[in-house]
Amino acid sequence: MTTLALEYFRSAPRYVGARTLGSKAPGLIAGPLAPLRLASVKDPEPPAGRSGWARVRPLLSGICGSDLSTLAGRSSFYFSPLVSTPFVPGHEVVGELMDDCGDLEAGRRVVLSSVLSCEARGEEPPCANCAAGDTGRCDRVAVGHLKPGLQTGYCNQTGGGWSRMFVAHRSQLHAAPDGLSDAVAVLVEPFACAIHAALRARVEPDQSVLIVGAGTVGILTLIALRLFAQPGHVTVAAKHEKQRSAARLAGADEVVRPEHATKSVRRHTSALKLTPERGPDFLMGGADVAIECVGSRSGLDLALRSVRAGGRVVVSGIPATGADLTPLWFRELDLVGAYTSGTETLPDGTREPTFDLAIHSSQDLPILERLVGATYPLDRWRDAIDHAMSAGKLGTFKVAFAPQG
Amino acid sequence: MKAADEVKELARGFRWGRRPMVPRSAEPHTEEREDVGFPTDWARTEAGVAARQAILRGIMHPLVRNERSLRVFGLDHLQDVRGPVVFFSHHSSHLDATLILCTLPDRWQRRTAVGAARDYFFDVWWRQAFTALVYAGFPIDRARGGKGIDKARELVRDGWSIVVFPEGTRTPDGHMQRFRHGASRLALELGVGLVPIAIVGAYQAMPKGRWWPGKGRPVVTIRYGDPIYPQEGETHQSLSLRMQQAVAQLFDEDRTTWFDAISRAERSETPSLAGPVAPAWRRTWEGSRPVARRGPPKAWE
Amino acid sequence: MPRPGFVLEVDERTPPLIVHEGEGYRMQKFPLGTRVVYPPDALPGLRDLNAHIRQALLNPVGDSKPLPELLFAGMRLTIAVDDISIPLPPMVTPDIRQRILEHVIELAARAGVDDLEIVVATALHRRMTAAEIRRMVGERVYRSFWPTHLTNFDAEDKDGIAHIGQTEEGEDVEIMKRAAESDLIVYVNINLVAMDGGHKSVAVGLASYKSLRHHHNVHTMLHSKSYMDPRPGHSAINDSTIRMGRLLASNGLKIFQIETTLNSETFPAQLGFLNKREWEWSTKDQALMMAAKKANEVAPPRVRREFFRRIEASYKVTGVNAGEVEAVHERTLENLHRQQVVEVDGQSDIVVMGIPYVGPYNVNSILNPILVHCLGLGYLFNMYRNKPLVREGGVAIMYHPVPWEFHTIHHPSYIDFFEEVLADTTEPKEIEDRYEERYATDPWYVHLYRTSNAYHGVHPFYMWYWGAHGRDHCGDVIFVGGEPKSVARLGYRRADSLRDALEMAKDSVGPSPSITYFHAPPIMIADVR
C-alpha cells in the first residue's frame, strides 16, 4: 500500500539552482527548484521483527528552519552521511497512533521526539550519551538496524511528518494531554529544543541576556528562559513588527531592531562601543549571554560582538558559515551549541526529560496558541513552503501542514 | 510616482514570483483555488488535437517503435463500439499512456484524453502544458475521492473517451495493485463502457524510477479487450473487481491462447496478477521476469 | 451562492488595495490593522426577466389589483420613470426601464388606452436630452411617444402643478397636475440605493420646489441618520416623503408602483478587476490594472473623460416587484439589502473613502467640487445603518483631485454657488437662511432649467445640505490629492498622501487611531453594530 507524502530527493541541478538563484529569486525554491515531490510512496515500514514501532497519522506537522535550509541547498554537507535519501521531511509532529504502541493505545494523540537514537535503532548497549539520557547527542544515528537519519524527517525508512502516515518508535512518542490543542502540540518539539537551548545557556540569576531573532525559535527560547532561569535584563533583537510585539508579550525587557541591538545592550551594561573600519560595531563589555536564534551570519556576528569578555554565545539555529570568530578568541568567549533535546538538569539539581518539561509547561502558555499562523494541506505544499520562507515578513511564526486535510 | 516605482511597489505588494497569498482575515471568505493554475481545455480544441496528433505520429510513435518492438492486438474489439468509453489499464510504467495513445485508431485517438494525477502532473506549469498538449491530459485528484473525478465526468459528458489507470500509481514491483473505484463509479454513473487494456512488458522495459527504456528493443505487447458494461444494480466494488479480472484475463490470453484464457476465466482460474504473497524481493523478481519473444529467434541472436 | 460582504483586517499578507479617485485610481498600501469593508459578491441576475416582469404585473403585492384590471379604454394614464441619475454608471442597454415600459405600454395598448403620457420624473434635476431618453426607454417607446407624449417633468410650469394639500406637519404637497388628474399613475423605478423608491418616487420625483423645500433642507438632513436607512424614525427626510405619499393616497391618487433592484456588477468585464477583491487578482488582472492606470494617466483629460463616460455597467436585475407603494418598497429593500448590507463591528476614528468618477448628478457631465462634497460626505458617508463608520469627531479621509471645474450647461448655478456663496460661508444653516430663496427664484436659472439642460438654481444648495450630517459629524475632512484652492473653498484640508493625511489627522484622533477603509464602489451599506 502507498501513502501520500512529500518526498525530498537528491537532485544536483536543483541543488545548484537553489544555491545560486535562491537568494535572488526565492520564489523558485518553492517552484521549479524545489527538490520535493508529492507522491504516493510505499508505506514506510519499521525494521522487520522489531517491536516498539507503530504507525502514526500526522495531524499537524511543522515546517522548521532546518527543513527550509535543506530545500534551499544551504545546509552543510556535514549532514550527508547522517541522512538517507529520498526522505519525507517533517519532525515537528502531533499525530494519532494507528497501532497500539507499548502502553500507548491506538487512537492516542502523541507528539514526536524526533531523534532516532540508540533505543529506536536497537543498539544494545546504548552509547554513553543515550545511557545518560542525552539522546540528542546519540553517537549511533547513522548505524543500527535503521537507515541513517539523525531524526525522523531525515530517514528514508521511517517516513516523516509531511505525509499521511509514518512510523515511530515508542522511545520517540509522548502522549499529548487532552487539553493541549493540535496547534500547541505541534510546537512541543521546538519548545523542547528551546528549553534545551535556554538551559544550555546556563544563565546565572540576574545575568543579562541578548536573544537574537524572534521567530518561533526566538520566542520559544525567550519563554523557556523566563520559565527555567532567572535572567536579569533580557533584550530581544527582532526584524519584523509582529515578532517584536510577540517578544514584548513573551516577557522581553526590551525589544529592538537588529541594527539597534548593540546600542541597546551597551546602554544596559555600560559597555564601550567601538566601530571597526569594516563590519558591524562591537562592544567591550556587554551582555553575559547571547542566544542566536536566527541561523544567519549577521545574527551570529551580532551575538559574538555583543557579549562581554568571558561571556557565552549559544547557537540555537543551524549555524551559518562565514561569521567572524575573532571576538571568540579575543574576548575568550564560550561558544555553546544547542541541538534538539534530551534530559535536563534543572537549577535545583533534578533531572527531567526535556519533552516532559515542554509538555507540562506548554499547557498554561496562551501565547503558544497564536504561533501557528497558517496550515496547508499537502497538495498545496508549494504555497506552504513559499509562505514559510518569508514567514517573518508575512507576520507568521510557524507554518504547518495539516496532512489529513 | 514614476512608473518604474509603481511597478516595483506592485511587485512587492502582490509578491511577484512568489505564491499568491490571502490575507489572514480573508481566509474564511476566499474560496480555495480550484484546478490550481493551468487550464487544459485549450489542448482539446481543434488546433490542440491537430498538434497532438502531429506529435504522437511524428515524434512519439517513431520513438516508441525505435526503442522497442511493439505488438498490438485486439483493436477489432473497438470496431463496433460507439464512444465515449473509459479505457483502463494496469499501470506499470511512464510509457503506458504513450503506448495506448499511439496505438489507438485515428477515430479514437482524436478524442481521447488521459487522466493524470493532479498532484504531480498538474503541479508546475511546464509539466501541465506538456501533459495537456501531448496526452490531452486532465487532472485527477487522487487525494479527494469522489470529487477528484469531476473533470473526467465533464469530459465524458462532452463525448471524450478517457484513459485512466485505476491503480492510481505505477506498480512498485511489476504486479497489479488494488483498483481504486473512481473509474467504476464514473462508468456506473454515466453508463459508459469500460475497455480493458493489458500492457505486457512495459514494466520490464522501463520500470518506475527509470526515464528511458532499457537497451535492446524489449518486446512490449498491447492487448485491447472486449468492453465491459456496468450491469443493472451493480456496485462499484464489484465492477472494479470485474475490471481487474478483465485485465488479468488479457494477460492470460497473452501468455497462452485466447481460448484457454476464456475457459480458465469460466472456471475462475485466471491466474491472479496480484503476485505472490511473499517477501518484496520475490515479488519484484517475478514481476521483472523478462518477456519471452515468440516465434523463431532472429538470425543474429 | 455568492459570498457575503466582510471586513478585512490588513495584515502583512495584504496586497495594496485599489482606491478610486475621480477619473482614475491608485493602489494604496494601508497601515497594518486597518479594517476594510468589502461589499458582497454580485448576486445572480434573474434568468427570464420578461417572465418575471409579467409575473410582477399580473400578481401585484399589497392592496392592488393586477395591472391589466386597472387599465380600461378611455382612461388617463400617466407613466413616470426615474431619470438619468440612476443607475450609476448607466447600465448596458436594454435598460431595465425600457423592458418594463414595453410591458406596461403593451398592456395599455391592449386595454384600449388612448390618453397615455410618459414623464421622466426629474424634479429639479436637469432635463434629459433626446439621446439620453432614447437610450433609456429604447427605440420603440421613443419613436411612439417623443416629444409630445414623452417629456421631462417641469417643476416650474405654474400651470402644470397642482396643490394637493398639507400633511399633518403642515408640509405643502404639490405635484405634476397631469399625474394628479390621471386615473392611474404607473411609476417605473430603479432602486440603486436605499434612499430611492417608495413614496419618494412620486412625491419627490414629480414635485415642485415649494413642496420639496419641506424635506430638502438642513434641518431634515441633520436629522436623517442616515438618509440611507429608511426605517421610521431614522431618516427625517424619508418620514416626510412618507407623510406626503400617504396624503396623495388619501386624496384618491392611484399609483401602481414598479420597483426593480440590480446586483453589484458595477464595472464591465474589461475592467473586471474593479469588481474583484485584490488578493484574488490574477497576474492578468494586475497587468490590466497597471496598463489601464498608465494609459489613463498619460491620456489627455478629454480622452480620459470620454473613456469614463462610456463605461456601462453590466448590472443584472435581481428583483422586480409591483403593486401598492409601501408593500412593494418593503420587498425592494429586502432585495437591496441582500445585495448591499455588510455587518461591521463598531466605529473607528478614521474612515477612508475613494470617491469615484461618477455620482447621480454628473452623468455625461463633470463631477465639480460641490458634487465631490456631496458624493463623499453625502452619499458615501451615509451608506450606513445604525451608526456611521467613523465615530463622532473622527476624521474622514477621501481621495479625489477636486479640480476647479464645472459643466457650464448642466451646472450654471453651481458656478455661482461656488464663487459667491462658499466664498462667504460654508455653514449649511447660514447658507440656507441667506442665499437659498434668491437662487431658487432667480429667473435666469429658472429659464435655463426649463429650456436648456441645467439643474435648478436651488440644486447646489441641496448638494451642500446632503453633506451637512457628515460635515457635522466629522471632526476633520482631508482630501488626498485634492487641488488646494478648491478644497480650501469647500472648507476642508488636503494632503499629498495617505501618510500625510494620517499625520494631519493626529490632531483630532490621537497618535494611533483605528482606521476603516470603505471599499466602494460597488455600492454597499455598512450595518455598524
* Contact between B143 and A42 using a beta-carbon 8 Å cutoff: no
Flag the least confident range among A115-129, A300-314, B216-230, B284-298. Answer: B284-298
* Contact between C11 and B23 using a beta-carbon 8 Å cutoff: yes
Residues B214-271 pLDDT 10s: 666 678 889 999 899 988 888 888 999 899 899 998 988 888 888 888 888 888 888 8
pTM of structure: 0.80
Residues A50-97 pLDDT 10s: 889 999 999 999 999 999 999 998 888 899 999 998 999 999 999 999
pLDDT at B37: 46
pLDDT at residue C267 greater than cutoff 60: yes
Provide the residue ranges of all domains of chain B, joining segments of one domain with +.
Answer: 41-287
Contact residues on chain A for B172, CB-CB shorter than 8 A: 2, 42
Distance CA C422, CA B170 (A): 80
| Strand, helix or coil for residue C413 | helix
Torsional sign, CA C66, C68, C73, C74: positive
pLDDT at C31: 95
Mutate to test the interface with C, among A394, A397, A399 (most CBs of C within 10 A): A394
Q: In Å, how far is B14's CA from the nearest CA of chain C?
A: 5
ipTM of the complex: 0.81
pLDDT at residue C54 greater than cutoff 60: yes
Distance CA C483, CA C476 (A): 17
Q: In Å, how far is A49's CA from the nearest CA of chain B?
A: 14
pLDDT at B216: 66
Flag the least confident range among A111-115, B280-284, C274-278. Answer: B280-284
* Contact between B23 and C14 using a beta-carbon 8 Å cutoff: yes
> Looking at the domain A2-187+371-401, which fold is it?
Quinone Oxidoreductase; Chain A, domain 1 (3.90.180)
Q: In Å, how far is C391's CA from the nearest CA of chain A?
A: 27
Residues B199-226 pLDDT 10s: 888 777 776 666 676 666 678 889 999 8
Look over chain B and give the mean of its residue pLDDT values, rounded to a whole number.
82
DSSP C22-40: BS-EEEEPPPTT-EEEEPP
Please tell me the class of the B41-287 domain.
alpha beta
Domains in chain C (CATH in brackets) are 6-41+340-528 (3.90.226.30), 49-182+191-262 (3.40.50.11440)
Are C50 and C90 spatial neighbours (Cβ–Cβ below 8 Å)? no
C-alpha dihedral (C27, C31, C37, C41), degrees to nearest 10: 50
CATH number of A191-340: 3.40.50.720
Phi, psi of B286 (to 5 degrees): -65, -40
Q: In Å, how far is C414's CA from the nearest CA of chain A?
A: 49
* pLDDT band at B36; cut points 50, 70, 90: very low
- Nearest by CB to B120, from A27, A39, A386: name it: A39
Flag the least confident range among A376-380, B81-85, B172-176, C34-38. Answer: B172-176
Mean pLDDT value across residues A185-199: 96
Look over chain A and give the mean of its residue pLDDT values, rounded to a whole number.
93
| Strand, helix or coil for residue C186 | strand
Amino acid at C98: Q
Chain B residues in contact with chain A using a Cβ-Cβ cutoff of 8 Å: 16-21, 24, 36, 118-120, 123-124, 126, 141-143, 168-169, 172
Mean pLDDT value across residues B16-39: 76
pLDDT at A355: 95
Among C524, C246, C217, C211, residue whose Cα is nearest residue C385 = C524
Instruction: Return the axis-axis angle of helices B46-55 and B125-135, rounded to nearest 10°.
Output: 90
Distance CA C330, CA A241 (A): 49
Mean pLDDT value across residues A9-38: 87
Contact residues on chain A for B119, CB-CB shorter than 8 A: 4, 38-39, 378-379
Tell me whether the omega of the peptide bond preceding residue C521 falls within 30 degrees of 0, making it cis: yes
| Strand, helix or coil for residue C295 | helix
Contact residues on chain B for A2, CB-CB shorter than 8 A: 168-169, 172
pLDDT at residue B296 greater than cutoff 60: no
* Contact between C6 and B21 using a beta-carbon 8 Å cutoff: no
- Nearest by CB to B21, from C7, C277, C279: name it: C279
Residues C103-132 pLDDT 10s: 999 999 999 999 999 999 999 999 999 999
Look over chain C and give the mean of its residue pLDDT values, rounded to a whole number.
94
Q: What percent of chain B has pLDDT over 90?
A: 8
* Contact between A4 and B143 using a beta-carbon 8 Å cutoff: yes
Distance CA C169, CA B79 (A): 89
Chains in contact with chain B (at least 3 beta-carbon pairs closer than 8 A): A, C
Contact residues on chain B for C8, CB-CB shorter than 8 A: 23, 25-26
Distance CA A144, CA C98 (A): 85
* CA B152 distance to own-chain centroid: 12
* pLDDT band at A313; cut points 50, 70, 90: very high
Mean pLDDT value across residues B3-11: 89
Contact residues on chain A for C13, CB-CB shorter than 8 A: 394-395
Provide the residue ranges of all domains of chain A, joining segments of one domain with +.
Answer: 2-187+371-401, 191-340
Are B163 and B113 spatial neighbours (Cβ–Cβ below 8 Å)? yes
Where is pLDDT greater, at B52 or A194?
Answer: A194
pLDDT at residue B301 greater than cutoff 50: no
pLDDT at residue C173 greater than cutoff 70: yes
Are A401 and A63 spatial neighbours (Cβ–Cβ below 8 Å)? yes
